[in-house]
Structure 1
Amino acid sequence: MNFFLRRQHPLSPPSPGVDVLERARLAVAGARPGDGDALEELIAALLQVGSAGNLEDSFEALRALTGRPALLLRLDTFVRQESAYSTRPAPSLAEADPVALVLAASQADGRIRERAVRRMLNRPRPELMPFVVLRTSDWVPQVREAACAGLAVLLHENPLLATSATVRTALLINRRRRGAFARGQLLVPLLADSDTALTGRLLTAPEPAVRRFVLDTTAHRFGIRHLAALAESDPDRQVRARAAEAATRQAVWTDQAELLRRLARSRHAEVRITALTGLMRTGSPQNVAQYLDDPSALIRALAREAARRTGTDPLAYYRTTVRAAEPAAGAVAGLAETGSRADGPLLTALLDNPVPQIRVHALRALRSLDVVPMPRVTALLRDGSTAVVKEAATTLAPSAPHLPADLLWDMLTDPQRSAVRRAGYRLSSRHDPLTALRAALVVSGDTHPRLVAQGKTDATTQIRNLAPHPWRTRPIPSLDASPAQSAELLALAEQRRTELTENVLRLLRDALRPGPAPMPGGTVGGGEARKPAA
């Protein structure tokens, strides 16, 4: 399909009740980088806005487009590829339509791109800057040099042209072979921003990558209170970690232990670990030792080192804490990290704790110490908590072949809870090939879509592995099914005819047919060559 070849007719009017700008916004929101039809619809919607003659609407449509820089890069490639084979005349750059201008900057003809870039540089607007940034990585030297020189001059004259969309586009093309220039040029206005107007605006950008870039560049210029507030409130984990590191560095240099203790109480682990490391550096291990039962494993390790420096035995602390009526989940995990098999009874007693999260951590601790009480953990396969059922199945997975078959079949057919059926299938699939195939066929008819998909995939794979192929060197698994079991498998497979293909059903019938199954290379199950008939 060729958009530029097909669009010889006037643009189609927008849908009734939807103005051209709203159509463009919807096209941007619904477009996917790999969907050519959606990109054609996006181009048509943008051109519709441009042809309406309202400059503010055109710039608003471009703002919506540049708000998705990854889509912008894909649209640039799409326009270039499609226009390379078009017989349509090149777009005119005489009119003032910014939509036509930015689409011309993506044309396959380098001379058109160069003229479009120069037009954008002569009429600089924040909405046009991402398109100039794109051309700084152009493969044609004349286009690239014009865009690079113009970008440097514009950012020097007006640093506020570096919008969040411009920065994000520069960060994306920085991965390209000739894409490092724009990112380097954006460092200049950030470092020269004496009143922090630009950096402050970019720190509120919706794209986390922009905020990370600003912090990596100018974190040293922000006050410690601002950085601490950013570390506690930003929704992006990496931004919080960068801000916390910068705030902690300043707090250590200026001996502000109170601010470090405040950050150490943050609900974000990446902020707490940075603040606690700062407290250790300021010589306050007693403040760090209080976090022995923190949910984060890294913080617990740091707290254990601090506890040793203060003369506290972490193992004794954990053993005492887990005996409490309401032990912390971090203490249970800490006992697993520092304890031994002798702590198995302590952890087993926690399997009766009314808090599901404590039971989950107790199961993990028993598994890590290799002291799994099989009967007690097996009973948790029917626990009221989905998380506990899943963790119990994970704990019992290595011992799944030794579990009672009746228990697993009851779990597979549980009428109420899909979590129990998923756990039963996970354990059944670790049994012998016959049990695993039967379980896959059973869950292929489940009401849970994920179980159905998993069962269908596993059943198809297992049945195909039963078929001999001359090029397969590994031995074919044997089902060792009795006539009654074979009949049951075939009946189940017939019930799943809509999920399995006819070819898969035929392979299963052949595998269950009485007599020695042929092996690759013309051999039978015993490995000896089949003798010709007399």
Structure 2
Amino acid sequence: MNAYTSPPDPLSIFQRLLLSVAEYFIFGRRVSNAPISENLYQPFATDRIALDSPDVASMSRNGHVREAAVRRLAKSTDGSEVPFLLVCVNDWVSPVREAALAALQARLRPEYAGHFVRNLPLVIRLADCGRHDHAPFVAAVLDQLRAPESRPALLEGLTSADRAVRRLCFRLAIETADIPRLEFLGQAIRDDDPSVRLWAARTAGSTLGLEDYLDLTAVMARDRFMPVRRQALVGLVEMSPEHVEPVLRASLLDPHVSIREIARYHLAKSGGFDARSFYRAAVYEGRLKNLSSALAGLGETGTREDAKLVEPWLSQPNTKIRRAAARALGRLDGDSHIDDLLRALEDDRPNVSRAAKDALRGRLRLIAPERLWQVFERDRRSHARRHSLGLLAGLGKWERLPYLIRACSDDDPEIAARAHRLIADWFARFNRSFTPPSPENLRRISTALETYGPAMEPEAVMRLREYLKGW
């Protein structure tokens, strides 16, 4: 066993803190002085421990007890005492704080490096604490971890299950002279924490040579986290502009709009590049792997004439392609394809239906409200009903009200609750618009209240009737 590997502990730190809080909020005094039964104690511990345990006592509200507990913790040498000492070093009682600091300073040696690595978040937290100037101690811990003899502990921290520890260890490793940068940045760029991968992508450009950086960009360009791919693309443009054009062309078909925009911007700067023609050719080619990105790109760069090229893909079996087609059609010429978008609103997949709803939201003036209500009544799938109700809620101030009142009586509790919330929102926004209702609006609202009012809150019905009296 390594010197910095602590033995299994019967309670986690969280459980110990929970026990400490429980003794005051439940018992009103120290557990160790309370004549309580094991059954009462059991809910706060998974294993029986001594009631006068010093790590628990270090959280006592009594300063004398905490000081004595810190002095007992200082006698421990297995590393389990470190997190409790790091908490006590910011104690509001100076004797407790000084005793904890002395104990921690005595542990600033290589064999304790692993324990400090595992508790790095607590160490760094001290820099923001104001009861005492902890900067010298924090600096001493970080200097110890950067030392060559602490390298095994630091490298072990790079694979810690705690992502906060990994993040801090990667940042320390870049400052350690004898750790190969390409090796550990390659490890960081493959970490499962997006924050670590993005940090590595940003750091690589300023610390690696061109050849090593190009090796890493091949990994970064395939990252599932868009900011990492974007950083790789921007870094290539800055460090190797003569080799970046093939990468920029490949990035035109990236799934994310931000990457596509960067690629189009830099290709346009070089001159002679027509993004619309590129995307039209990609859609014509119809390769399913990149088709959703090609449709999205055409929606971003095309014209109304390109809508005919997009429309057939609304019936494609692939969900991503149908969603991209609905979005592109809404961007290019949604006004002329209301019927197609209404059919997409009833798609089997919620994300396709949502894309159609977004495309229709700004075109409600072109849709008869009854058509939306027919979708709401006809389609029994919850996502289609939610989206059609959302569109109905986007109608004019008085025009939407009859449909929302009717939806309050829906047999789906979720839909009915949504309709109630939309009516509450109508009340909250009432004075934002002073458009008067038409006679037809008043008639439809009154009819809806007579028929479906019993399903509503009595107070809401009363308020609506009061509003109608004014007209």
How would you bin the TM-score normalised by the shorter chain? 0.7 to 0.9
Q: Deviations over 1:236-260 (max 9, x none)?
A: 2111212334455555345563443
Which of the residues 107, 113, 118 maps onto 1:159?
113
Q: Deviations over 1:494-524 (max 9, x none)?
A: 134xxx3x43343345445xxx43xxxxxxx
Q: Which residue of 1 aligns with 2:460?
A: 504
In the alignment, structure 1 residue 321 sits paired with structure 2 residue 279 = no
Check whether the contact 1:401–1:432 (CA below 8 A) recurs between aligned residues: no
Q: Which residue of 2 aligns with 1:100?
A: 53
Q: Deviations over 1:87-124 (max 9, x none)?
A: 669759xxx94873233222222222222222212224
Return closer, same or farther for 1:212/1:88 CA change in 2, 3 Å cut-off.
Answer: closer
Which of the residues 386, 397, 407 maps onto 1:422?
386
Cα distance between partner residues in 1 of 2:213 and 2:438: 70
Q: Which residue of 2 aligns with 1:44?
A: none
> CA offset at residue 394 of structure 1?
0.9
Return closer, same or farther for 1:240/1:484 CA change in 2, 3 Å cut-off.
Answer: closer
In the alignment, structure 1 residue 192 sits paired with structure 2 residue 147 = yes
Which of the residues 288, 299, 324 maps onto 1:361?
324
Q: Deviations over 1:35-72 (max 9, x none)?
A: xxxxxxxxxxxxxxxxxxxxx88x22135638xxxxx5
Q: Deviations over 1:402-424 (max 9, x none)?
A: 42222211222235311110111
Cα distance between partner residues in 1 of 2:266 and 2:425: 53
- Describe the SS at the equivalent of 1:205: coil
Q: Which residue of 2 aligns with 1:334?
A: 297
Q: Which residue of 2 aligns with 1:410?
A: 374
Return closer, same or farther for 1:195/1:131 CA change in 2, 3 Å cut-off.
Answer: closer
Check whether the contact 2:402–2:444 (CA below 8 A) recurs between aligned residues: no
In the alignment, structure 1 residue 237 sits paired with structure 2 residue 194 = yes
Check whether the contact 2:315–2:322 (CA below 8 A) recurs between aligned residues: yes
> CA offset at residue 132 of structure 1?
1.6
Q: Deviations over 1:220-242 (max 9, x none)?
A: 5345244324423x222111212
1:458 maps to a residue whose letter is: L
Return closer, same or farther for 1:318/1:457 CA change in 2, 3 Å cut-off.
Answer: same
Cα distance between partner residues in 1 of 2:261 and 2:149: 42
Cα distance between partner residues in 2 of 1:462 and 1:236: 43
Cα distance between partner residues in 2 of 1:257 and 1:401: 52
Which of the residues 257, 268, 278 maps onto 2:214?
257
Q: Deviations over 1:374-401 (max 9, x none)?
A: 3332332223332121111111112224
Which of the residues 373, 378, 383 maps onto 2:342?
378
Q: Which residue of 1 aligns with 2:448?
A: 488
Q: Which residue of 1 aligns with 2:40?
A: none
Return closer, same or farther for 1:193/1:300 CA change in 2, 3 Å cut-off.
Answer: farther
- Using structure 2 for the length normalisation, give the TM-score: 0.78
Which of the residues 60, 67, 86 maps onto 2:10?
60
Return closer, same or farther for 1:153/1:507 CA change in 2, 3 Å cut-off.
Answer: same
Further displaced range: 166-175 or 327-336: 166-175
Check whether the contact 1:265–1:272 (CA below 8 A) recurs between aligned residues: yes
Further displaced range: 129-138 or 482-491: 482-491
- Describe the SS at the equivalent of 1:155: coil
Check whether the contact 1:293–1:330 (CA below 8 A) recurs between aligned residues: yes
Further displaced range: 312-321 or 262-271: 262-271
Which of the residues 390, 399, 405 maps onto 2:354?
390
Check whether the contact 2:326–2:356 (CA below 8 A) recurs between aligned residues: yes
Return closer, same or farther for 1:195/1:435 CA change in 2, 3 Å cut-off.
Answer: same
Cα distance between partner residues in 2 of 1:340 and 1:99: 76
> CA offset at residue 133 of structure 1?
1.5
Q: Which residue of 2 aligns with 1:288?
A: 247
Return closer, same or farther for 1:151/1:253 CA change in 2, 3 Å cut-off.
Answer: farther
RMSD of aligned alpha carbons: 3.8
Further displaced range: 432-441 or 143-152: 432-441
In the alignment, structure 1 residue 301 sits paired with structure 2 residue 256 = no
Where structure 2 has 5 or more consecutive residues not aligned to the other structure, the ranges are 1-6, 35-48
- Describe the SS at the equivalent of 1:504: helix
Q: Deviations over 1:167-214 (max 9, x none)?
A: 233455655434865754542332125463212222222222221111
> CA offset at residue 285 of structure 1?
1.4
Cα distance between partner residues in 1 of 2:246 and 2:223: 14
- Describe the SS at the equivalent of 1:293: coil
Cα distance between partner residues in 2 of 1:314 and 1:261: 26
Check whether the contact 2:296–2:328 (CA below 8 A) recurs between aligned residues: yes
Paired residue total: 437
Q: Which residue of 1 aligns with 2:74?
A: 121
Percent identity at matched positions?
A: 24
In the alignment, structure 1 residue 110 sits paired with structure 2 residue 63 = yes
Cα distance between partner residues in 1 of 2:68 and 2:356: 67
Check whether the contact 2:346–2:384 (CA below 8 A) recurs between aligned residues: yes
> CA offset at residue 354 of structure 1?
4.4
Which of the residues 224, 228, 232 maps onto 1:275?
232
Cα distance between partner residues in 1 of 2:102 and 2:340: 72
Cα distance between partner residues in 2 of 1:331 and 1:177: 54
Which of the residues 156, 168, 174 maps onto 1:213?
168
Cα distance between partner residues in 2 of 1:449 and 1:204: 48
Larger RCO, structures 1/2 (Cα 8 Å, 6+ apart)? 2
2:357 maps to a residue whose letter is: A
Q: Which residue of 2 aligns with 1:202?
A: 157
Cα distance between partner residues in 2 of 1:126 and 1:483: 78
Return closer, same or farther for 1:310/1:91 CA change in 2, 3 Å cut-off.
Answer: farther
2:462 maps to a residue whose letter is: R
- Describe the SS at the equivalent of 2:189: helix
- Using structure 1 for the length normalisation, give the TM-score: 0.69
Return closer, same or farther for 1:75/1:163 CA change in 2, 3 Å cut-off.
Answer: farther
2:245 maps to a residue whose letter is: Q
Return closer, same or farther for 1:455/1:188 CA change in 2, 3 Å cut-off.
Answer: farther
Q: Deviations over 1:280-329 (max 9, x none)?
A: 31341134223221113333234335545766614132232122223532
Cα distance between partner residues in 2 of 1:473 and 1:407: 27
Q: Which residue of 1 aligns with 2:4?
A: none
Cα distance between partner residues in 2 of 1:100 and 1:114: 13
- Describe the SS at the equivalent of 1:177: coil
Cα distance between partner residues in 1 of 2:394 and 2:370: 15
Which of the residues 122, 127, 131 maps onto 1:169?
122
Where structure 1 has 5 or more consecutive residues not aligned to the other structure, the ranges are 1-55, 67-71, 467-471, 518-524, 526-534
